[in-house]
Amino acid sequence: MVAGAGTQVPFAREQLRCLAIEKGYGVGKILSYTKLAQGMEDRYSPEVLNWLGYPAWSHEKPSEWIRRFLYGKLSDRKSPTLVFLLFVGLFEDSVKSFDEGADRGVFRFSSSQDAQRVQHDFSQCNQAKEESGEDWKCSLSRVLAANAYRLLATAEQLQVSANQVAREALRQHIRIPLTPQSTSGLGPAKLSEICGDLRSGVPQAKVARKFRTSQWTILMILLDSPGLYESHRSAALSWVRDMHRKKILDLMDRESDVSRDTIRIVLPGTYDYVLQADNEWFQTHVPRRKRNPNPQMRIMSDPQELDRMVAARVQKAIDYIRALLRPTQITRTAVLRRAGVLAKFTRVPQKFPSSEALLVRNVETRPEYLQRKIIWAIKEMANAGMSFSVNTLRRRVGLPAEELRTYEQIVIGAAHDAGAEIHGASFFAG
C-alpha cells in the first residue's frame, strides 16, 4: 500500500527515515533503533506487536526487522506491507496523511546530495548503459591503468568514493600494488604474519586490531594479492563456524545443566548463527532435552505444598539467571520458563503467592538491569587492566552513548569501587 506501484511516495523508505529523524527517533542524523523499538511499544503495545509476530525487542536489543528496514541502500527490495504500515503508523495517523505529506513536500531529503544518491541507487545501471554502453564498474580496469593504479585519482575521475573503487577492484580481481610507503611501514615480517592470519580466515577487523593497523591497510594488502582475498573468504566461513562451535562447547564444559534455552540466553548471537548456518551440528551436539512432566506436582493435592514446590523452582531459576557469566535481565517470563511453570503460573497465579512474592522482589526493571550490567562490565575491564571511555563501555554494555551518559554517577561509583581506570579524555573523567 505504501511502496506499491503508483504511490505518490516514490522513495518510501527514505521518506520514512527522514520522518523518523524529524520526529526525534535519532541522535542528530543517525537513527536510534532503541528509540524506534520503544516508540513501537508505546504506539502499539508489546502484546499487539507479539501477536502480529513483530516484537519490538529480541534478546534485549531492538528486533532485526526494526534495525534493517531503514538501513542500507534504498533499493526496491521488498518488505511485508505490515512492516511499512507499522512504521507509517508510528509517525503518522494514517497512510493517507503520510501520502499527502509527501505530495505537499513535507518530507524533505536532508540535502540535495541525498536526493541525488537515492535516485542514483535506482537508475544508475540502466541509465549508464543506455547512454554509454558501460557503467563505471565496467570501465574500472581501464581507468585504473590510465591513472597508474592510484585509487584517489581513479575515484575522482569516476566520481565515486575510493572505498567503492577498492571494493570493486577486489571483486574483479584487479591487482593494485601496495605503495612503497605502506610496504616499508609494515615491514616484510609483519606483512607475512598479516597474510598468514588472513589465509587462516581471521576476520579483517580482528587482524587490524592485532597488528595495530587500519582496516584500510588490510584492504590494500588484499588488493595487492587478489588470490589472498578468495582464500580469506573461504577460510573465514570455517573460522566463524568453529568459533561459534567452541563457544557452545566451552559453555557446556563450564555448566553441566545446559539446554538450548540456556544457549539462547547466554550466547544469543551464536544461537542465531548455528540455527541458520550450522543447524545439523547443533541438533547433533545439543540434543533437545526431554520434558519432565513432574508427576509429583501433577498429583499433589495440598495447595500450600504445591506453592512451596513451585517457589523452590522459581528461586532456583532466579539464582541460575543471576549467576550467568554475562548479565541477563531477570524477567517474570524468563524465570517462570526456566522453572518450567510458565503455563501453570499464568493460568492460576493466585495459587502461588510465595512464587509471586519471589518475583516481586527479584524481577528487574530495565534501568535496574542496566545498572547491574554496567557494574559487571566495569569490573570485567578492571580485572583485564583496561581503561575505559564512553565508547568502550557502551560497546560492552550494548547501549547508545547518549543513554549511557545518563548513568554517569553509577559508572563513576562502580569504577571507584572496582579500581577501574577511566580514560583521561572520557566524558566520565569530568
Q: Are 56 and 38 in contact (CB under 8 A)?
A: yes
Q: What is the mean pLDDT of residues 129-158?
A: 75
Q: Are 41 and 15 in contact (CB under 8 A)?
A: no
**CA 287, CA 371: separation in Å to the nearest integer?**
35
Please provide the average confidence, as pLDDT, over all residues in the chain. 78
Q: Give the pLDDT score at 1.
A: 43
Distances (CA, A) of 194 to 18, 188, 207, 226, 242: 42, 10, 7, 15, 20
Q: What is the mean pLDDT of residues 299-327?
A: 83
CB neighbour list of residue 342: distance below 8 Å, 6 or more residues apart: 333, 336
- Polymer length in residues for the chain: 430
- The verdict on pTM exceeding 0.75 is no
Q: Are 306 and 297 in contact (CB under 8 A)?
A: yes
pLDDT band at 128 (very low <50, low <70, confident <90, very high): very low
pLDDT band at 315 (very low <50, low <70, confident <90, very high): very high
| Cell numbers linked to 302 | 495440598
Is pLDDT of 333 > 80?
yes
Show me where the domains of the chain are located. Answer: 12-114, 180-224, 237-285, 295-364, 367-429
Is pLDDT of 2 > 60?
no
Q: What is the mean pLDDT of residues 23-51?
A: 81
Q: What is the mean pLDDT of residues 201-224?
A: 86
Q: Give the pLDDT score at 375.
A: 92
